[in-house]
Amino acid sequence: MGVILELKNVSFVAQNRLVVRGFSHQFEEGKTTALVGPSGSGKSTILKLTAGLLVPTEGVVSFRGKDIFTMNRQENLDFRREGSMVFQDSALWANQSLFQCLELPLRIHFPQMTPGERENRIQAVLRDVGYKRDLSIRPAMLSMGEQKLIAFARAMMCRPRLLFLDEWTESLDDSAAQRLVQLVQRQQKERNTVILVSHDFRIVKNLADYVLMILGGQFFLKLTREQMEEDEDLARYVERGIAS
């Protein structure tokens, strides 16, 4: 299906520290790519750069061949509608109710929807993720695991074709985590693109078509699922790298 996202010689400096250096990669449409590596290696920063949430200090990030940061307003809206992010810390709006947090993407990207249609969409997604509590409360009243469920639900509101996941099963019990993994597998069956960061080797092994190991903010190693399955030493190497 071709390349959907490309990073060309991307570097990023934060607080006078070079976090990502000269990173280049092409992400295939319809495939799942896992970014792995030790804590502090730059995985989450690379994910945010790829999602257009951070502006690179150097280099280019392009979506379907178009530099994300030279897009006009409509092109940028189309990109934001097609892609959704689940943040490691959930990043829910503290001064909004859960319903407002979930409704906002629909208001922005589908202004023609009626209040009833928005309500129906929200309830359908919440059934998928397994959240059953009151939506009038604010995020601070939720556990970290419940916040993750709402963050995942928000990301799914606009039926994204491109999903960015940063430790999206962290703080969830096994049952809730498995439910979200199954929802990602549904995305894969629909030939959507997933780029994820996870320290859970089981998730990486079961979901990823490609594994990119990041060390010191740089590309270090790329493996396919087949290589992981056929070479136990490589698989153990990746597992140790994730756990460190």
Q: What region does 216 belong to: left with phi over 0, alpha with psi -120 to 50, or beta?
A: left
Residue 39: pLDDT band (50, 70, 90) is: confident
Mean pLDDT of the region 193-216 = 93
Residue 90's contacts (CB-CB under 8 Å, 6 or more residues apart) are 139, 144, 147, 148, 150, 151
Mean pLDDT of the region 66-94 = 94
Residue 244: pLDDT band (50, 70, 90) is: low
Q: Is the pLDDT of residue 164 over 70?
A: yes
**Residue predicted with more confidence, 119 or 202:** 119
pLDDT at residue 171, rounded to an integer:
86
HEC assignment per residue over the chain: CCEEEEEEEEEEEECCEEEEEEEEEEEECCCEEEEECCCCCCHHHHHHHHCCCCCCCEEEEEECCEEHHHCCHHHHHHHHHHEEEECCCCCCCCCCCHHHHHHHHHHHHCCCCCHHHHHHHHHHHHHHHCCCCCCCCCHHHCCHHHHHHHHHHHHHCCCCCEEEEECCCCCCCHHHHHHHHHHHHHHHHCCCEEEEECCCHHHHHHHCCEEEEEECCEEEEEEEHHHHHHCHHHHHHHHHHHHC
| Alpha-carbon Rg for the chain in angstroms | 18
Average pLDDT, the chain: 94
pLDDT at residue 239, rounded to an integer:
82
Going from N- to C-terminal start, the domains of the chain cover 3-96+161-243
Residue 234: pLDDT band (50, 70, 90) is: confident
pLDDT at residue 27, rounded to an integer:
97
Q: How far apart are CA 36 and CA 42, in angstroms?
A: 9
Amino acid at site 27? F
Residue 114: pLDDT band (50, 70, 90) is: very high
> Tokens for 159?
């039926």
pLDDT at residue 243, rounded to an integer:
62
pLDDT at residue 30, rounded to an integer:
97
Q: Is the pLDDT of residue 120 over 70?
A: yes
Mean pLDDT of the region 136-143 = 96
CATH of domain 3-96+161-243: 3.40.50.300
Where is average pLDDT lowest: 22-31, 127-136, 201-210, 232-241? 232-241
pLDDT at residue 237, rounded to an integer:
78
Q: pTM of the prediction?
A: 0.94
Mean pLDDT of the region 47-63 = 97
